Structures are given as structure tokens and as C-alpha cells.
Amino acid sequence: MRNTAQLTTAVLAAGALTLGLTACGAGKDSGSADGPLVVAASPAPHAEILTYVKDNLAKKAGLDLEVKEFTDYVTPNTATEDGSVGANYFQNQPYLDDFNKKNGTHIVPVVTVHLEPLGLYSNKVKKADALKSGSTVAVPNDTVNEARALKLLAANGLITLKDGAGNSATPSDIAKNPKNLKFKELEAAQTPRSLDDVDAAVVNGNYALDSDLKPAKDALVLESPKNNPYGNFLAVKEGEEKDPRVKKLAKLLTSPEVKKFIEDEYADGSVLPSF
């Protein structure tokens, strides 16, 4: 049911985006190698990293780069699919695989740039094991990030998942729940805003940053970067990987300058370079 609602929202949002780009001329032709490369991105840290590239590296590389910010996890892919933007930067491989499968889209990764560790936050307790029996925990409601959230809770002993629970795990895949935790499924962007209404919330790294949460300091538990499959990458519609503008941006996003920017700008470890 929630997937249907999200898809409807995505269609409406993508339509609004197309109109907006047409009206302001920003889409001059985002699919043409002669125009600017328009990249859809989450505000933090993706748009911040892209803006650094635009302001400091793009001109010298001969790249005309335009950054468009979005606060949801749907529109960047639908806009990339319909050509309203030329690329996007906000997601990881399990999420993209699930999105393509459910929506019939043809988005492919180009280059992995960074990891944002997922974290459990609370305004009511200072430690995860202080959560009381029957506590309510907000989790992202998209398939991959919900599974990722449950894996984080399982890795820290709050729940046990059934054998074989993978990248589509839901609360029904919980084998043991010693604290009888209850789960409130919300759009990922809403999880940090729910902190006053729930006992704890699992929040994606970019939304934590948007909400002035410091993952390395504020999270009760934080996802480990070791062997982590959730690195965020630059992505395009299949067939656009060889676009000269995309190749230039991919090279810049994995340059020593960008690595240093990430390490300096997010010194608390909330964003980690993946190259």
C-alpha cells in the first residue's frame, strides 16, 4: 500500500520537476552533451559535495555543472529516467536495485563516492539498551532502508532477524524481540522529525545531517563502514554512462580534492569517502 502511495507521489513530483525545469530553462538540454549536466541530489551531503566540485573543480575540467536539490528518494530517479535531469547522486545499490525492479526504470551506477552510516537516535534515552519494553522505534518505510534499519538493530542486539532475512526484511522477519519493540514506518525524510513522538528513530545519514544531528556523536548506535554495501554513487539512465560530462564528473567526484573535502567537512565521521 505504501509503495503505491509513493509511486503516485513520485509521478506527481516528477511532473512538477519537469515543468519547473522547462520554465526556468535549467533543462537546456540535460540529455545533450552540449548543455549543462543537471544532477539531482539530496541536500546533504550530496549537493554539498557537488557544489564543492562546481565551485572549485568543474570549470578547470571543462564541465558545466548544475545541482538540483530534492528531499525525497523517489523524484531523483524518476527525473533521471525521463530526462528531466542528466544524473543523480543520493542512493546505494540495494536501494537502486529495488527501485528499478518496482518501477521499471533503467538507472545504473557510475562511480561510488561515499558512505553515510545509518544511525539510531533518541531524544528520550542516552543508550540503546535503555529503551524500555514496548518502546516505539521509527524506521524508514522504503524496502531497502527498512531492512537496513532492522539489520542495524539486530547487529546491536535489540532484535534478532530470521535466517535468510535480506535486503527486503520487514518487522515480520523478526525472530526475537526481547524488548517488544514496536515499529512506526515513515518516509525516510520524516524519521528525524519524529524524534519527539517516538522513543527512537533510525535515520539515514543525509537526513541526520539535514536535521543538525551529528552521527558520530549523537547516534546511540551507528552502522559500521566495514564491508558496507551501502555506498552512495553517481547514477545515470542506462546508456548515458559514456556521456563526456558524466565521465568528467565521475573523475572529479573521486579526485584527491574531493576526498580531502569530505574528510575535512565531515570530520566527525558522519560521511566517509569510499574511494
Q: Express each pLDDT in 94-149 by its tens digit.
A: 999 999 999 999 999 999 999 988 999 999 999 999 999 999 999 999 988 999 99
Q: How many CA atoms lie within 13 A of 65 on its CB side?
A: 31
Query: Domain total for the chain?
Result: 2
Q: Return d(Cα 106, Cα 236) in angstroms, integer.
A: 8
Which residues, in sequence order, are bridge partners of residue 232? 114
Amino acid letter, residue 134: G
E strand or H helix at 38? strand 37-41
Shared domain check, 205 and 140 = yes
Q: Express each pLDDT in 12-59 by its tens digit.
A: 344 444 334 333 333 444 555 679 999 999 999 999 999 999 999 999
Mean pLDDT of the chain: 89
* Contact (CB, 8 A) for 199 and 133: no
Shared domain check, 101 and 54 = yes
Q: Return d(Cα 209, Cα 192) in angstroms, integer.
A: 10
Read off the pLDDT of each residue in 191-204 and give the average, rounded to a whole number. Answer: 97
Considering only CA atoms, give the Rg of the chain. Answer: 19
Q: CA end-to-end span of the chain, whole Å?
A: 38
Quote the pLDDT of residue 114: 96
Say which CATH number the domain at 154 has.
3.40.190.10
Residue 8: which pLDDT band, with cuts at 50, 70 and 90? Answer: very low
Shared domain check, 236 and 109 = yes
In terms of residue numbers, what domain contains 196? Answer: 119-222
Shared domain check, 264 and 136 = no
Shared domain check, 249 and 162 = no
Shared domain check, 69 and 7 = yes
